[in-house]
């Protein structure tokens, strides 16, 4: 018998500011849309005014979030909790565009705080379970109070035939905008209302097959992504300690888990972002070498082998990345603009080159090679894209993005003023300068050659030319340039204030776009062009046989890469063992070692210091690993023993180590006793001297 439905959104009551909303009851088997509705109702009722992220962390403003956090930590085991909170963050951020009071921005911060506090109380295994769980795996149907299908039942997912279509992962901006315009949407100030079923379905379906980390990137949840617990999971994905594929077979299923060397297929290591980006860097280096070879040789009569290889590299380097990562992270990645530039320039070069060869037009062939020279503007920075992993460079990238956005906005005002003066000067100097010549003169004046404008001012107009040119020079060289520098400086300062958060967002995009694909077989460029031969076969060959053939092709073509990865990992293990052995010898022959504890290890488990204590002191530090009894309607949590820990195993000390510690402690006690006796003797002697001096004075 199904469990009776509970109130999904708390009603607003006429209490004072201290009124805390009713905490929603979220069950383990609740579908994704139901979880989102319950959480949205609470957030809408709890946040009624604009506050900053820092203010929401204080007791004065954030105390209404504490009951929800406590309930999620102690009672809730639904794996869609974090994803639902981050979906609400994305929705509230989209509503902020039309919100003058910044309330929805505060609600988005509240969603981040709740998700952050919840994840902070999870174990390592649970963190993977909640952060890397795909929305597509939730219960599809929405049940009514009687246990049957309600009229608003819907399917969050598409059919299984779209399982490998990563383009479906793109959230539709029009759907989100439609939800934004809906007066009964999630972001409305009336929590007792909900958006219509069609809008719900379209908006939430845009997040299908995305995990919480991917949703956080889409939502721009920088503060959530910058937390240590979240970054630990991202680092685990980067280093291959957390994997999404464990074996290469027809029935393989994507599931995030800790890497087990004994069980995992070595070909699955091709999906580790660290190795993937290393091979990508080698590919770009070879790409650059072919590019230089073609331009230096510059064969205008025929296409040689080097040029054919360049065409293959241009066609292959973007095909696999764009198709595999999906347009969502492809558009979020900073380097996607460079990739598009490489493709466009390469396509223009190939087109003009072929036309010139067919028609025998030498001039067109020269133009094609001139266009290919522009490729270096995009290819050379792309070769060094791995430098974005550096914290300094990774921080400058978002700064450059924000400054570019502000510059483009400011450029509109410059263009308006420029065309106004260009029209005036062209009409005044119509007998001396053409419009093209005048436009070039004004461009030179704008970029600092003001003397050139004053020299021709008399030719433009003896009466109006000099004063108009003076006004143009003052506006451009003094007012506009100074304003632009100040604007860009403010943009740089604003981004640098949150440099750590910006870097974590850039780093998370860099890692996730290389690891979270739904495709089992990943072909490195230029070998990914071989996979194109299998696409027409989908019409006549069963999907299982086709997938098996792709696996065989992958193992045949990528064997050298797997050998290189295996050799590298074995070398790293050898270095780690040698370092461990050296540390053991040093501790054995270097005398008694002093074992110290960090402040965190000396701190009791439930004790929290710093500003985090404002929220955590009232919360239990240890999250229960199992759900309540079956009578409460929940299923017990999965056995945590199935998931190994990232921390090294703690072994009990041997008897010899204990004896050494006892001897060291005994020697320390003896030394301390001798020092105490010496101090006692000195104090006794000083007291006797003081007493004798006092007697003499008397």
Report whether pLDDT(181) > 50. no
Radius of gyration over every alpha carbon of the chain, rounded to an integer in angstroms = 33
pLDDT bracket for residue 662 (50, 70, 90): low
Pairing of strands 257-258, 242-243: antiparallel
Quote the mean pLDDT of the chain: 75
Distance CA 653, CA 655 (A): 7
pLDDT bracket for residue 82 (50, 70, 90): very high
Structure-model confidence comparison of residues 352 and 610, the more confident one: 352
- Predicted confidence at residue 572, as pLDDT, reads 87
- Predicted confidence at residue 238, as pLDDT, reads 92
Report whether pLDDT(59) > 70. yes
Q: Nearest-CA neighbor of 196 among 240, 229, 154? A: 154
Q: For the segment 331-360, what is each residue's pLDDT rounded down to a tens digit?
A: 667 787 888 888 889 999 999 999 999 998
pLDDT bracket for residue 322 (50, 70, 90): low
- Predicted confidence at residue 602, as pLDDT, reads 35
**Is cis: bond before 526, omega within 30 of 0?**
yes
CA–centroid distance for 459 within its chain:
58
Q: For the segment 576-593, what is each residue's pLDDT rounded down to a tens digit?
A: 888 877 776 665 555 444
Structure-model confidence comparison of residues 683 and 626, the more confident one: 683
Q: Rounded to 10 degrees, what is the CA torsion of 516, 517, 519, 525? A: -110
Q: Nearest-CA neighbor of 207 among 158, 144, 255, 256? A: 158
**Backbone dihedral angles phi then psi of residue 143, each to the nearest 5 degrees:** -95, 150
Q: For the segment 237-246, what is each residue's pLDDT rounded down to a tens digit?
A: 999 999 988 8
DSSP classification of residue 63: G
- Predicted confidence at residue 635, as pLDDT, reads 36
Distance CA 262, CA 643 (A): 14
pLDDT bracket for residue 545 (50, 70, 90): confident
- Predicted confidence at residue 116, as pLDDT, reads 92
CA–centroid distance for 169 within its chain:
16
Mean pLDDT, rounded, for 597-601 = 39
Report whether pLDDT(234) > 90. yes
- Predicted confidence at residue 308, as pLDDT, reads 93
pLDDT bracket for residue 316 (50, 70, 90): confident
Distance CA 535, CA 569 (A): 34
Q: Nearest-CA neighbor of 555 among 530, 575, 581? A: 530
Distance CA 188, CA 486 (A): 37
Tokens representing residue 682 in the block: 């000195």
Report whether pLDDT(25) > 60. yes
Q: Rounded to 10 degrees, what is the CA torsion of 229, 234, 239, 243? A: 100
Structure-model confidence comparison of residues 165 and 97, the more confident one: 97
Structure-model confidence comparison of residues 388 and 371, the more confident one: 371
Structure-model confidence comparison of residues 290 and 506, the more confident one: 290
Distance CA 446, CA 477 (A): 6
- Predicted confidence at residue 616, as pLDDT, reads 39
Report whether pLDDT(88) > 70. yes
Tokens representing residue 484 in the block: 């632009």
**Backbone dihedral angles phi then psi of residue 319, each to the nearest 5 degrees:** -60, -55
Q: How many residues does the chain have?
A: 698
Find where tokens 């565009």 sit.
97
Q: For the segment 500-535, what is each residue's pLDDT rounded down to a tens digit?
A: 888 888 899 888 887 777 777 888 888 888 887 787
Report whether pLDDT(487) > 50. yes
pLDDT bracket for residue 571 (50, 70, 90): very high
Distance CA 346, CA 40 (A): 48
DSSP classification of residue 461: -
Report whether pLDDT(327) > 60. no
Report whether pLDDT(212) > 50. yes
Most confident of 194-198, 258-262, 678-682: 258-262
pLDDT-above-90 percentage for the chain: 19
* Residue 171 zone, left/alpha/beta (φ > 0; ψ -120 to 50; rest): beta
The total of other beta-carbon atoms located within 10 Å of residue 641's CB is 7
Per DSSP, helices labelled H in 333-464 are 336-359, 362-373, 375-383, 391-428, 435-446, 450-460
Report whether pLDDT(551) > 70. yes
Q: For the segment 357-381, what is each residue's pLDDT rounded down to a tens digit?
A: 999 888 999 999 999 999 999 999 8
């Amino acid at each position: 018998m199904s469990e009776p439905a509970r109130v999904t959104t708390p009603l607003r009551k006429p209490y004072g500011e201290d009124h805390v909303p009713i905490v929603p009851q979220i069950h383990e088997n609740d579908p994704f849309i139901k979880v989102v509705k319950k959480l949205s109702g609470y957030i809408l009722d709890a946040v009624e005014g604009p506050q900053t992220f820092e203010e929401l962390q204080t007791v004065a403003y954030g105390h209404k979030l504490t009951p929800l956090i406590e309930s999620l930590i102690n009672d809730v085991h639904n794996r869609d909790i974090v994803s639902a909170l981050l979906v609400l963050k994305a929705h509230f951020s989209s509503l902020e565009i039309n919100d003058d009071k910044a309330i929805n921005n505060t609600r988005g911060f509240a969603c981040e705080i709740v998700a952050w506090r919840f994840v902070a109380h999870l174990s390592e295994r649970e963190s993977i379970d909640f952060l890397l769980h795909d929305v597509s795996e939730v219960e599809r149907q929405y049940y009514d109070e009687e246990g049957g299908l309600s009229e608003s039942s819907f399917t969050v997912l598409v059919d299984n035939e779209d399982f490998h279509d990563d383009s479906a992962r793109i959230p539709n901006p029009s759907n989100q905008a439609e939800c934004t315009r809906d007066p009964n949407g999630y972001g409305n100030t009336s929590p007792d209302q909900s958006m219509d079923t069609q809008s719900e379905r379209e908006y939430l379906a845009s997040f299908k097959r995305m995990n919480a980390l991917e949703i956080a990137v889409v939502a721009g949840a920088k503060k959530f992504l910058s937390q240590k617990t979240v970054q630990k999971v991202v680092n685990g994905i980067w280093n291959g300690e957390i994997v999404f594929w464990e074996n290469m077979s027809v029935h393989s299923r994507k599931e995030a888990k800790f890497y087990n060397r004994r069980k995992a297929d070595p070909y699955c290591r091709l999906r580790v972002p660290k190795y993937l980006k290393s091979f990508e860097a080698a590919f770009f280096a070879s790409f650059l070498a072919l590019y230089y070879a073609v331009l230096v040789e510059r064969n205008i009569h025929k296409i040689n082998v080097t040029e054919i290889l360049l065409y293959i590299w241009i066609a292959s380097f973007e095909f696999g990345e764009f198709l595999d990562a999906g347009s969502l992270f492809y558009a979020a990645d900073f380097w996607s603009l460079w990739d598009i530039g490489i493709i466009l320039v390469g396509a223009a070069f190939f087109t003009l080159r072929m036309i010139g060869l067919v028609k025998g037009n030498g001039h067109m062939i020269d133009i094609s090679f001139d266009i290919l020279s522009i490729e270096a503007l995009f290819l050379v920075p792309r070769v060094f894209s791995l430098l974005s992993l550096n914290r300094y460079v990774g921080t400058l990238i978002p700064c450059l993005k924000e400054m570019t956005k502000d510059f483009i906005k400011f450029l509109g005002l410059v263009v308006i003023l420029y065309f106004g003066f260009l029209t005036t000067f062209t009409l005044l100097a119509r007998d001396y300068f053409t419009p093209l010549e005048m436009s070039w003169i004004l461009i030179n004046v704008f970029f600092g050659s003001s003397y050139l404008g004053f020299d021709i001012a008399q030719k433009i107009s003896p009466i109006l030319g000099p004063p108009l040119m003076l006004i143009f020079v003052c506006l451009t060289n003094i007012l506009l340039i100074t304003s632009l520098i100040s604007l860009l400086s403010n943009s740089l300062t604003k981004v640098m204030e949150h440099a750590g958060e910006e870097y974590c967002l850039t780093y998370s995009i860099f890692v996730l776009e290389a690891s979270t694909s739904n495709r089992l077989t990943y072909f490195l460029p230029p070998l990914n062009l071989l996979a194109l031969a299998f696409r027409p076969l989908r019409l006549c060959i069963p999907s299982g046989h086709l997938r098996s053939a792709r696996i065989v092709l992958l193992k045949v073509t990528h064997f050298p890469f797997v050998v290189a990865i295996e050799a590298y990992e074995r070398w790293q293990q050898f270095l780690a063992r040698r370092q461990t052995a050296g540390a053991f010898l040093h501790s054995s022959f270097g005398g008694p070692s002093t074992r110290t504890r960090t402040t965190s290890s000396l701190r009791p488990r439930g004790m929290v210091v710093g500003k985090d204590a404002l929220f955590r002191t009232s919360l239990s530090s240890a999250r229960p690993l199992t759900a309540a009894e079956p009578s409460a309607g929940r299923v017990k949590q999965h056995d945590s023993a199935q998931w190994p820990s990232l921390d090294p195993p703690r072994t009990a000390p041997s008897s010899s180590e204990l004896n050494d510690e006892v001897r060291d402690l005994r020697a320390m006690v003896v030394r301390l006793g001798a020092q105490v006796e010496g101090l006692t003797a000195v104090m006794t002697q000083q007291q006797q001297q003081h007493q004798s001096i006092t007697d003499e004075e008397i």
